[in-house]
């Protein structure tokens, strides 16, 4: 593996690096630089994110392409591949790690906040497990589009700073153009990071990792009497809120393995992710999820399962008496369902215009979902159309026409209208609040695929348009309304793929 030497090309990006993860012991990571690529070319730089991180203005595009392809290292970086393990579809793998990613280092942004800077698709590492360590253009563009859309939707997520083509192919189902994504995250520490050391019974490393995570993500827990238990509870809180937000917008992660659950509470590792078109809680897109383990409605169940695996790693740090530690963890995990349901209901109330929930509102939410399950309307369009009905109660046609049958939705609309009439706010105010909770634009699977297909032929215009439109998902954009429409029969995307 290549290591950082005095001969490694270095470019000053003006970023302030402070690499705390690199200061952890060697068993946490493997130090190396990326394998150079043939002909890097910058596809897109996320200028707003770059500015917030402190990236210098006026940098040469060739220098940017070289850094974001791994042909040069930013000054102050200490590249490394992180070690972690994980349960993949329920099966434990004791060593996974960054098999195609390199953490360049940690950047302090203009406000002093700390972010990881990572290259994804940068070549082999000691954790590559016979893979090539590279990424194809399609998955890189998919993650760029979807992660930035999630950010605009207000959902905690890793972000895309840059995408480059490499000028050399990768072999997947055939030869495909190679690309590399530069990803920004609060950190890339996962449930699987704790599992890596638990599998080796390395309690000293787990203690170090708890200290590192608390200092970085949960500083208010520094004085907690039981730091391991407090950390479990804090991570659980963030995951409950995160997965609830996924469900609010119809998002399906696709691979909720423990190595894909970030301790920071961010959405991480966009592989075969997708957004529902027609509402169906059993929806699955991932080509590798043949049993529906990570279906849309299963996501909170799997989040709880993953958190139980984290708890197992922390038991010895909670209490040397295993029986006491198990009791503590079990009690904490027992609160997840109520936590999740609280966050989910809060978001669903906002989506249907209820500002002050009252008795019976829970059944109103569930009643709509039951009608939607039978009527199979488009999930996103249904909630956006309800915004208009809240403002003009007599104009129900745009909502009713989304359903296969009218009887169920007519009865629900009647109950809902009567409930909103007790709110006390003007219809326009209710509608405005609802539009802030219900996006008009999501990364529809067929539109993402169309952008990828065009890019494979050298045309990145649809990709750039999609990124720009999705940066304002709650705004009416009349000129881009075509991007709100569900797929025609011949446009439907039935399977999405991981890209590894």
Q: 85: buried, middle or exposed (CB in 10 Å: 19+, 13-18, 0-12)?
A: buried
- Which residue of the set 98, 116, 259, 378 is catalytic? 259
By C-alpha distance, which of 328, 252, 342, 261 is closest to 294? 252
Give the whole-angstrom CA distance, residue 413 versus residue 438.
17
- In sign, the C-alpha dihedral spanning 8, 14, 15, 17 is positive
Quote the CA–CA distance of 193 and 200 in Å, as a whole number: 12
Cα–Cα distance for residue pair 35/498, rounded to 1 Å: 22
Identify whether 259 is a catalytic site residue: yes
Helices (H), 57-190: 61-69, 137-152
* Residue bearing tokens 């434990």: 92
Separation between Cα atoms, residue 30 and residue 490, nearest integer Å: 46
Chain-centroid distance of CA 405 in Å reads 35
Residue 445 sits at φ, ψ, to 5 deg, of -60, -40
d(CA 329, CA 321) in angstroms, rounded, equals: 12
Orientation of helix 336-351 relative to helix 427-435, angle to 10°: 130
Q: Is 10 helix (H, G, I), strand (E, B) or coil?
A: strand
Longest dimension (CA), the chain: 73
Show the beta-strand stretches assigned E in 28-125.
29-31, 41-45, 73-74, 80-82, 86-88, 91-93, 101-108, 114-120
CA separation for the pair 246, 159 (Å, rounded):
16
Phi, psi of 479 (to 5 degrees): -70, -15
| C-alpha closest to that of 267 among 255, 283, 282, 279 | 255
Eight-class DSSP state of 231: H
Element spanning 185, H or E: strand 175-185
Residue 326 burial class via C-beta count within 10 angstroms: exposed 0-12, middle 13-18, buried 19 and up: middle
How many Å apart are CA 166 and CA 177, to the nearest integer? 8
Strand bridging mode 10-11 / 73-74: parallel
Q: Looking at the annotation, which residues are catalytic? A: 259
């Amino acid at each position: 593996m290549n290591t950082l030497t005095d001969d490694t090309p270095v470019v000053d990006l003006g970023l302030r690096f402070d690499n705390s993860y690199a200061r952890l012991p060697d068993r946490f990571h493997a130090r190396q630089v990326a394998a150079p690529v043939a002909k890097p070319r910058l596809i897109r730089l996320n200028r707003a994110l770059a500015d917030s991180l402190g990236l210098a203005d006026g940098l040469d595009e060739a220098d940017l392409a070289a850094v974001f392809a791994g042909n040069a290292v930013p000054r102050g970086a200490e590249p490394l591949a992180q070690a972690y393990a994980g349960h993949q579809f329920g099966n434990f793998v004791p060593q996974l790690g960054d098999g195609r990613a390199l953490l360049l280092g940690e950047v302090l942004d203009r406000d002093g906040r700390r972010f990881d800077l990572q290259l994804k698709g940068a070549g082999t590492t000691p954790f590559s497990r016979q893979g090539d360590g590279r990424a194809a253009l399609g998955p890189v563009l998919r993650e760029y589009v979807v992660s930035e859309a999630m950010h605009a939707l207000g959902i905690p997520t890793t972000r895309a700073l840059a995408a480059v083509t490499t000028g050399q192919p990768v072999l997947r189902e055939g030869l495909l153009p190679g690309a590399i994504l530069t990803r920004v995250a609060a950190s890339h520490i996962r449930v699987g990071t704790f599992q890596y050391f638990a599998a080796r019974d390395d309690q000293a490393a787990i203690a170090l990792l708890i200290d590192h995570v608390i200092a970085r993500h949960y500083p208010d827990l520094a004085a907690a009497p039981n730091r391991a238990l407090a950390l479990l509870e804090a991570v659980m809180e963030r995951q409950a809120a995160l997965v609830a937000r996924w469900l609010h917008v119809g998002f399906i992660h696709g691979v909720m393995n423990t190595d894909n659950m970030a301790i920071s509470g961010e959405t991480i590792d966009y592989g075969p992710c997708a957004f529902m078109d027609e509402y169906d809680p059993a929806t699955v897109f991932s080509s590798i999820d043949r049993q529906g383990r990570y279906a849309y409605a299963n996501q909170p169940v799997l989040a709880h399962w993953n958190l139980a695996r984290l708890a197992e790693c922390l038991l010895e740090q909670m209490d040397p008496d295993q029986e006491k530690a198990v009791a503590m963890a079990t009690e904490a995990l027992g609160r997840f369902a109520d936590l999740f349901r609280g966050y989910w209901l809060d978001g669903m109330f906002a989506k249907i215009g209820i500002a002050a929930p009252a008795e019976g509102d829970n059944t109103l939410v569930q009643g709509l979902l039951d009608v939607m399950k039978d009527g199979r309307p488009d999930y996103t369009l249904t909630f956006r159309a309800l915004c208009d009905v809240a403002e003009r109660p007599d104009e129900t046609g745009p909502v009713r026409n989304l359903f296969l049958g009218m009887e169920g939705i007519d009865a629900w609309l009647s109950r809902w209208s009567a409930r909103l009439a007790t709110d006390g706010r003007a219809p326009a105010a209710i509608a405005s609040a609802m539009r802030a909770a219900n996006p008009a634009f999501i990364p529809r699977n067929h539109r993402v695929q169309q952008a990828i297909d065009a890019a494979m032929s050298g045309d990145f215009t649809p990709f750039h348009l999609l990124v720009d439109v999705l940066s304002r998902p709650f705004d009416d954009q009349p000129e881009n309304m075509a991007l709100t429409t569900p797929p025609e029969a011949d446009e439907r995307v039935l399977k999405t793929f991981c890209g590894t």
